Structure 1
Amino acid sequence: MVLWQAIALAGGLSMVGAPIVYGLSPFGDSLPHALSSAVQLTLSEDYETLGQLEVHPWHIFALCLGLFLGGHLLLTLARTYFRVLGARRRHRQLVDLLSTPLPNTVDDADTQVIEHETPLAYCLPGRTNASSVTVLSRGLLNTLSQPELGAVVAHEQTHLRQRHHLLTMAFEAWYRALPWLPTNRYGRDAVLELTEMLADDGALTRYSPETLLRSLALSSAQTPPHDDGPASAPQLDNDVPGTSNTLITGARLQRLLAPKEPLGKLAVLGVVAGSAALLAVPTGLLLLS
């Protein structure tokens, strides 16, 4: 997860910073010096000095491209955030209206039950963990045993405690900003799968892999209700991160059936060092170039 975040940040920084550095190159030998010189010359309206610099149209184009890409990424992130926030608020209102509380759940979690026969479980994040809710369907309660139900709730509570929706939202925004970039799609899918694995780890601290696997197979095999479902089931926006189910992938299934040894300290150190280098090297090159 740390490595994918470093890849995304380094990619965005390089994509935005490289054209800006090139566009400012006539103004100085390094980015801080060039930026300072460009601002001073612009504010002082020293057109004579500006005319002596070799500023070509492609420098202006590169500078505008970098600023456009940076603004596009920030605006897409803001748009995704407010869109997700509004969708979750509407969904929470439906859940509050159409559900009933389920007592005696794991960690006294706020768990609500909707009267729907499809086995269904998902979490609905709030601004804080206290305002978050886990939603189960009546069909799931009738299908799972008590330990299996506890494993499902523990899985969803791990999502909420570790704030996985913030990670998936950032990668979703990055993908929507530049959907033509293959790494964005791979990164989004990988992060979604990794958050599910982290939630599995949270549930495995209390329940066996067999219990978790059975519970997830029953609660994830069905699609959340849509417009053609019963009126008693809130409609999910499957395009909103953090509100819909994620099917069990082959990697998750293999991980639960035949768990591998965790990474050693040397491997973990290598991943952390590689992630730090991904952020430090492009940043250093941009500042010193």
Structure 2
Amino acid sequence: MTVLALLLAALAVLLAVPVPKLLHNAHFRTRSPWAAMLLWQAIALAGGLSMVGAPIVLGLSPFGDNLPAAVSTAIRLTLQEDYVALAELEVHPWHIFALCLGLLLGGHLLLTLARTYVRVLSARRRHRQLVDLLSTPLQNGNEDTDTHVIEHDAPLAYCLPGRTNASSVTVLSRGLLETLSEAELAAVVAHEQTHLKQRHHLLTMAFEAWYRALPWLPTTRYGREAVLELTEMLADEGALAQHAPKDLLRAIALSGESSGPLGAKAAVTQPRGEWGVHPPAEPTLLSGARLRRLLVPQQPLGRSAVAGVVVLSVGLLAVPTGLLLG
């Protein structure tokens, strides 16, 4: 069990520092954003399991040769208050400390996720009330697209997800409608609708909670930034599947790059991650990799490369799970 704890700790360190730094600037992410997204999710889950599991395994090492048996023995002896048997197992203070550390860390991660979810739902509900009060439906003849217009001069476009796609809404400003052509506006709406259909807000919320729980870890910072970038790339792909690249590019250019993708600005003052919408991204997401792939379309990864990413992602999840349950 001690060796198992050391292996989990080594995996946690590996997934916390060097791996995220390498993946953050990996070139393949622009060729297949969904594959990079899958890998980031695997890193987050595997890293979390390893980080929480290592101290718990170390703390329970005197109770058995594997985690399930150790947990069963620890619970049984504790409920029976068999202190003689506990003493014979040579449970030392550092075992108790490690066990408490693992449980506290796991609880901290889960509570942060729950807290972030509650705050996002609350912010989303307030934001939707404001949208309903201050906007008017856009008469575009498309019953599948619930689009509202707010009377604001600045170019603005963002999506506000609901519990289902049917209750979600895309918000555009009057300034955006007056700035873009019909084709460019359709590309903007398709971009935002892709965010909603693929439920990108769930991904950004999960990684935001991960970052809030452990902001000092490189992997949480890199992961948060990567997911925001990758969701924008995926939304671009959704728009480009229906509209010409020049329309999407002109929409970005005419909306003003300094205000975020597609001219998105914060319509209300909210701390980052509490929008309850796909958050207006930082200006950096318009430059660099995302903008280059729009200007010069790249060939998607081949089947073998994609299969390799999938196998690697599954392997990352299987290693800590197998070590904990084996």
Q: TM-score range by the shorter chain?
A: over 0.9
The equivalent of 2:7 in structure 1 is: none
Partner Cα separation in structure 2 for residue 236 and residue 129 of structure 1: 25
1:130-279 maps to which residues of 2 (within 5 A)?
130-219=166-255, 221=257, 222=259, 234-237=267-270, 239=272, 240=274, 242-246=277-281, 247=283, 248-279=286-317
Could you state the TM-score of these two structures normalised by the residue count of structure 2?
0.83
* C-alpha contact 1:168 1:192 (8 A) present in aligned 2: yes
1:116-158 per-residue CA deviation (whole Å, 9 max, x = no partner) reads 0000100011111111110000000000000000000000000
Equivalent residue number for residue 286 of structure 1 = 324
The residue that corresponds to 2:139 in the other structure is 103
Whole-Å separation in 2 of the counterparts to 1:266 and 1:105 = 43
Query: What is the CA deviation profile of residues 94-135 of structure 1, one whole-angstrom value per residue up to 9, with x for unaligned ones?
Result: 110011110116563111111000001000111111111100
Are the counterparts in 1 of residues 39 and 313 from structure 2 also a CA contact under 8 Å?
yes
Aligned partners of 2:185 and 2:163: how far apart in 1?
25
Q: CA deviation at 1:20?
A: 0.3
Which amino acid is the alignment partner of residue 271 of structure 1? V
Distance 2:249 2:269 in 1: 24
* C-alpha displacement of 1:283: 1.4
Taking the aligned partners of 1:175 and 1:54, their CA distance within structure 2 comes to 38
Give the number of equivalent residue pairs. 281
Q: Indicate conservation of the 8 Å contact 2:191/2:235, yes or no.
A: yes
1:46 aligns to what? 82
Kindly provide the CA deviation profile for residues 222-252 of structure 1, in whole angstroms up to 9, marking residues without a partner as x: 26666xxxxxxx5242512535322413111
1:21 to 42, 48, 57: 57
Residue matched to 2:113 = 77
What SS does structure 2 have at the residue aligned with 1:108? coil
Write the distance in 2 (CA, Å) between the matches of 1:137 and 1:277. Answer: 45
TM alignment of 1:115-130, pairs within 5 A: 115-130=151-166
Return 5+ residue gaps in structure 2 as ranges: 1-36
Q: How big is the shift at 1:213?
A: 1.1
Contact conserved, 1:106 with 1:153, CA < 8 A, in 2? no
Do the aligned residues in 2 keep the contact of 1:172 with 1:188 (CA within 8 Å)? yes
Measured at CA, do residues 169 and 118 of structure 1 come closer, stay the same or move farther in structure 2, by a change above 3 Å?
same
CA contact (8 A) 1:105 1:111 kept: no
Structure 1: distance between partners of 2:216 and 2:302: 36
**Is the 1:113–1:136 Cα contact (8 Å) retained in structure 2?**
yes
Q: Secondary structure at the match of 1:119?
A: coil
Question: Alpha-carbon deviation of 1:209?
Answer: 1.0
Which region of structure 1 is more displaced relative to structure 2, 65-74 or 98-107?
A: 98-107
Following TM superposition, by how much is the alpha carbon of 1:54 offset from its aligned partner in structure 2, in angstroms?
Answer: 1.1
More displaced, 210-219 or 174-183? 210-219
Q: Is the 8 A contact 1:158 1:203 kept in 2?
A: yes
Q: 1:108/1:32 Cα in 2 relative to 1: closer, same or farther (>3 Å)?
A: closer
- What is the TM-score when the length of structure 1 is the normalising length? 0.93
Q: Which residue identity is paired with 1:31?
A: L
RMSD of aligned C-alpha atoms? 1.5
Tell me, what secondary structure is at the counterpart of 1:112? strand
Deviation at 1:260, TM superposition (A): 1.0
Maintained 8 Å contact 1:236/1:244: no
> Counterparts of 2:203 and 2:92 in 1: how far apart (Å)?
40
Quick check: 1:155–1:200 contact (8 Å CA) kept in 2?
yes
Of the three residues 64, 72, 80, the one matched with 2:100 is 64
Paired-residue identity, %: 73
Partner of 2:34: none
> Is 1:77–1:174's contact at 8 Å kept on the other side of the alignment?
yes
